[in-house]
A and B are shown apart, each in its own frame.
Chain A
Amino acid sequence: MPEQLAFAMEVFLNGLMSGVLYALVALGFVLIYKASGIFNFAQGVMALFAAMTLVGIQNGQVPFAHLINAVLGTHIHHFGWHIHSVLALILTVGVMVLLAVAIQKFVFRHLVGQEPIILFMATIGLAYFLEGFADLMWNSEIKKLEFCLAGTTCLPQGINLAIDEATYNWFGYGFFIDNLDITATIVAIILVIALVAFSQYTKQGRAMRAVADDHQAALSVGISLNFIWVLVWSVAGFVALVAGIMWGAKSGVQFSLSLIALKALPVLMLGGFTSIPGAIIGGLIIGVGEKLFEFWVGPLVGGATENWFAYVLALVFLVFRPQGLFGEKIIERV
């Protein structure tokens, strides 16, 4: 096989894997937008907050330690324990549910019936608040994320040797596929299946879909909008936690995690804001598209094309299909 073709195949596969990571972030946006019509600008910051909370709980970090020490003159930073990853995950989910309740109670309950742009602005405010709150609660240091299921079975990272060897035998060139990306793909598949099953086969899921279709009709049959929105924000919080774990394992848990939302925007534009499969397919197209473009065209134009190419690709799709590949076509008649 020609060397360039083998390289291109490797880039293609890595693009798919990157696309899954983008889709993980995009999923959280879709869930909230679908159920409440809110474009949640704070989704990236939620991923940051969730990952920081997970690591903080895991490492026994005292929340608001700097604040407590400054006020009381103490020097406490850690409780002195280390919690198992799974227990820390469960506790973090609990924190994300509490956050969802707080967001609903203190922000969106007071904005019922407001224009979408007002709700969007509220999420911008929420993003800034959460950024500062996360820093204050867990401090700005970069934290190493070690998520282990049992003993030494932790999130794997680095080249997958089996794929490297197999592709070397087939093509004469061993492909690099990151074990973390493979894990992220498996997790994303499980997550999507779970989300689809939840929305199709559970009472709460069906209520969520009913609210997504028509708020007024859902209210008229006794569905509590408050409960559903708390549920949706909680599920989005959980998705943010998963995204935070996968991205945080690559770079350490730090402020920049909040910027992964930038990677999700073109995915949403392309896949549609209301479709879970759209987020996945959109993520894959963006991931593969930007990686192949960087591989073939990047060297001719000085490189670093990925960020802008993702948006250009999404814009091209928008011209032909404004609602995105899987988005709902909205027809308003006067």
Chain B
Amino acid sequence: MKKIFVTAVAGLMAAAPAMADLVFPSLSYRTGPYAAGGIPFADGYADYFTLLNERDGGIGGVMTKLLECETGYNTEKGVECYESTKGEGALVYQPLSTGITYQLIPKTTADDIPMHTMGYGRTSAANGNVFSHTFNYPGTYWNGASGAVNYLLETNGGDIKGKKIALVYHNSAYGKEPIRTLEELQKKHGYELSLLPVDHPGQEQKSQWLQIRREKPDYVLMWGWGVMNQVAVQEAANIRFPMENFIGIWWSGAEHDVLSAGDKANGYKALTFHNVGRDFPVFEDIQKYVVDAGKAAGAGDQIGNVLYNRGLYAAMLAAEAAKTAQGIHGTADITPAMMRDGMEALEITEEKMAALGMPNFGPSFSVSCENHGGPGLVGVTQWDAGSKTWSLISDFKPTDMEVIGALIEADSGSYASENNIEAQCK
């Protein structure tokens, strides 16, 4: 009897930590060549959960716990981080790397843990019928590509036939993501597309920019990350390419991407799926409950920066999904499977964001079993080198879902047939 009692107590104690907190792993990279981008995102993600704990007592009365694991933007390390943290009751993973995402898609599905790859990862995971545990709302790379083309259409009176567009991209799975979409849209809108790959890490881009200087494209789009962004902006300035015609994806549009080029970077544009700057009430709370209390993840100097805001936004979406899951299942102590249900039923409205101190921080959207990618609304930001700030210069606008939807259907369809996956949405 005594033995049974001791075993039961030991079992309860072992189970207790998983029940006590809502665990949110953060696969971050604060070291290595991509640390400059990884740090503000990780800080924003961590600070929002700290705010919820300090201000609201957690989510639904349960404290949150952040499990940070350093990946160095290395796929193998990312998988190790996943394996070492999944047993701690991890509710949702944010790998912040397309390479890690590809490795984790089958693993998270098998382990029944959801994964959120916001604005990165495998675009066709937007098809919830095939990718049951992967979510990439509120936008994907293909939305980004279409958003860029739509912006060019808008600024050219709806006609870009014959215009020359060059895509400078990181020569990796990430950088190649928009090519198919841009090629499809090329057929529709009649522009000329030239592709200019840049090898990792992107420190040397002389050949690509000499080619741009020779071919004189009307617009340059960029899918870069890390040092590639800073060098590209500098090289564009060197050849005197008009910065207002140079548009980067959202991973090429942070402060550190343009600061090293100084005044010459003025006017450079980047796509976005969330707002920029620190003019939101939530930052006053972050200052009061997190930074001033000495509980900030970093030095507190990244608040309001583009990637800090993105990390904060990702944390907000995770927290709202957790709240939704708590509502659906009638319990505050949710499991990863319940979290998945919450993500699939997530609804973000302007009223909700305003109540959270984040009015117009991102688009309103809802997720469904079929659509894990959200509405795919894309905005455009522009850099002002004088004030050293990014400004949102357009609304979050719809993208060409007719083209993107067909591509998602085709890509996810081949993944489903390769892996014998049946449609999960009834």
Against B, the Cβ 8 Å flags (1 = close, 0 = not) of A134-168 are 01000011111100000000000111000000000
What distance in Å separates the Cβ of B209 from its nearest Cβ neighbour in chain A?
8
Residue of chain A at shortest CB distance from B194: A299
Pick the contact of B206: A18, A66, A143, A145 (CB < 8 A): A18
What distance in Å separates the Cβ of B178 from its nearest Cβ neighbour in chain A?
16
- Contact A251 B231, CB 8 Å, known A69-B299, A263-B204: yes
- The interface-forming segment of B26-34, B84-92, B242-250 is B26-34
Q: Which residues of B contact A140 (CB under 8 A)?
A: 30-31, 35-36, 39
Pick the contact of A256: B31, B33, B39 (CB < 8 A): B33
Asked if A307 CB lies within 8 Å of chain B CBs, one says yes
A135:B36 contact, CB within 8 angstroms:
no
- Contact A77 B35, CB 8 Å, known A14-B206, A176-B239: no
Against B, the Cβ 8 Å flags (1 = close, 0 = not) of A301-332 are 01110110000000000000000000000000
Pick the contact of A141: B36, B199, B201, B262 (CB < 8 A): B36
Q: Which residues of A contact B262 (CB under 8 A)?
A: 144
Against A, the Cβ 8 Å flags (1 = close, 0 = not) of B199-219 are 111111011101001100000
- Contact A252 B299, CB 8 Å, known A157-B238, A158-B238, A263-B204: no
Distance of A143 Cα from B260 Cα, bound (Å): 7
Pick the contact of B207: A145, A158, A259, A291 (CB < 8 A): A291
A304:B171 contact, CB within 8 angstroms:
yes
Distance of A298 Cα from B195 Cα, bound (Å): 11
A247:B260 contact, CB within 8 angstroms:
no
Pick the contact of B203: A142, A143, A247, A291 (CB < 8 A): A247
A259:B260 contact, CB within 8 angstroms:
no
A295:B207 contact, CB within 8 angstroms:
yes
Distance of A260 Cα from B33 Cα, bound (Å): 12
Kindly list 13 other residue pairs between chains A and B, CB separation below 8 angstroms, not including A251-B227, A302-B197.
A7-B214, A14-B206, A73-B294, A141-B256, A142-B259, A176-B210, A250-B203, A250-B231, A251-B230, A251-B260, A255-B35, A303-B197, A304-B199
Asked if B108 CB lies within 8 Å of chain A CBs, one says no
Asked if B363 CB lies within 8 Å of chain A CBs, one says no
B230:A252 contact, CB within 8 angstroms:
yes
Asked if B198 CB lies within 8 Å of chain A CBs, one says yes
What distance in Å separates the Cβ of B228 from its nearest Cβ neighbour in chain A?
9
- Contact A252 B199, CB 8 Å, known A140-B35, A306-B204: no
Central interface residue in A132, A176, A257, by most chain B CB within 10 Å? A176
CB under 8 Å from chain A, chain B span 215-244 = 226-227, 230-231, 234, 237-240
Residues of B within 8 A of A (CB): 30-33, 35-36, 39, 171, 195-204, 206-208, 210, 213-214, 226-227, 230-231, 234, 237-240, 256, 259-260, 262, 264, 294, 299, 301
A255:B32 contact, CB within 8 angstroms:
yes
Distance of A73 Cα from B294 Cα, bound (Å): 8
What distance in Å separates the Cβ of B242 from its nearest Cβ neighbour in chain A?
14
A157:B234 contact, CB within 8 angstroms:
yes
What distance in Å separates the Cβ of B68 from its nearest Cβ neighbour in chain A?
15
Against B, the Cβ 8 Å flags (1 = close, 0 = not) of A1-33 are 000000100110010001000000000000000
Distance of A10 Cα from B30 Cα, bound (Å): 40
Distance of A284 Cα from B260 Cα, bound (Å): 27
A142:B230 contact, CB within 8 angstroms:
yes
Residue of chain B at shortest CB distance from A15: B206
B210:A251 contact, CB within 8 angstroms:
no
A contacts with B, residue count (CB < 8 A): 44
Q: Which residues of B contact A291 (CB under 8 A)?
A: 206-207
What distance in Å separates the Cβ of A223 from its nearest Cβ neighbour in chain B?
39
CB under 8 Å from chain B, chain A span 50-68 = 66
B39:A77 contact, CB within 8 angstroms:
no
14 contacts between A and B (CB under 8 A): A75-B299, A77-B299, A140-B30, A142-B36, A143-B260, A158-B237, A251-B231, A251-B260, A255-B36, A257-B203, A260-B203, A303-B208, A304-B171, A307-B199
Asked if A85 CB lies within 8 Å of chain B CBs, one says no
Main SS at interface, chain A: helix
B239:A251 contact, CB within 8 angstroms:
no
Residue of chain B at shortest CB distance from A140: B35
Distance of A135 Cα from B30 Cα, bound (Å): 10
What distance in Å separates the Cβ of B252 from its nearest Cβ neighbour in chain A?
14
What distance in Å separates the Cβ of A230 from its nearest Cβ neighbour in chain B?
30
Q: Which residues of B contact A302 (CB under 8 A)?
A: 195, 197
Against B, the Cβ 8 Å flags (1 = close, 0 = not) of A177-199 are 01000000000000000000000
B31:A135 contact, CB within 8 angstroms:
yes
Pick the contact of A259: B197, B198, B203, B230 (CB < 8 A): B203
Distance of A254 Cα from B226 Cα, bound (Å): 10
B204:A18 contact, CB within 8 angstroms:
yes
CB under 8 Å from chain B, chain A span 234-279 = 247, 250-252, 254-257, 259-260, 263
Distance of A7 Cα from B259 Cα, bound (Å): 31
Q: Which residues of B contact A77 (CB under 8 A)?
A: 299, 301
Pick the contact of A251: B203, B207, B208 (CB < 8 A): B203
Nearest first, the 10 closest Cβ-Cβ pairs linking A and B are A252-B260, A256-B227, A304-B197, A140-B35, A294-B207, A142-B256, A304-B171, A307-B199, A304-B199, A303-B197
What distance in Å separates the Cβ of B38 from its nearest Cβ neighbour in chain A?
9
What distance in Å separates the Cβ of B370 from its nearest Cβ neighbour in chain A?
35
Residue of chain B at shortest CB distance from A73: B294
Distance of A192 Cα from B238 Cα, bound (Å): 28
Distance of A145 Cα from B261 Cα, bound (Å): 10
B207:A159 contact, CB within 8 angstroms:
no
Q: Which residues of B contact A247 (CB under 8 A)?
A: 203
Distance of A304 Cα from B208 Cα, bound (Å): 9
Distance of A247 Cα from B201 Cα, bound (Å): 13
Residue of chain B at shortest CB distance from A260: B203
Central interface residue in B196, B204, B256, B299, by most chain A CB within 10 Å? B204
Distance of A158 Cα from B204 Cα, bound (Å): 15
What distance in Å separates the Cβ of A116 from its nearest Cβ neighbour in chain B?
28
A142:B206 contact, CB within 8 angstroms:
no
What distance in Å separates the Cβ of A285 from its nearest Cβ neighbour in chain B?
16
Residue of chain A at shortest CB distance from B196: A303
B31:A132 contact, CB within 8 angstroms:
yes
What distance in Å separates the Cβ of B205 from its nearest Cβ neighbour in chain A?
9
Q: Which residues of B contact A298 (CB under 8 A)?
A: 207
Q: Which residues of B contact A260 (CB under 8 A)?
A: 203
Q: Which residues of B contact A131 (CB under 8 A)?
A: 31
A252:B259 contact, CB within 8 angstroms:
yes
Pick the contact of B198: A250, A256, A304 (CB < 8 A): A304
B31:A306 contact, CB within 8 angstroms:
no
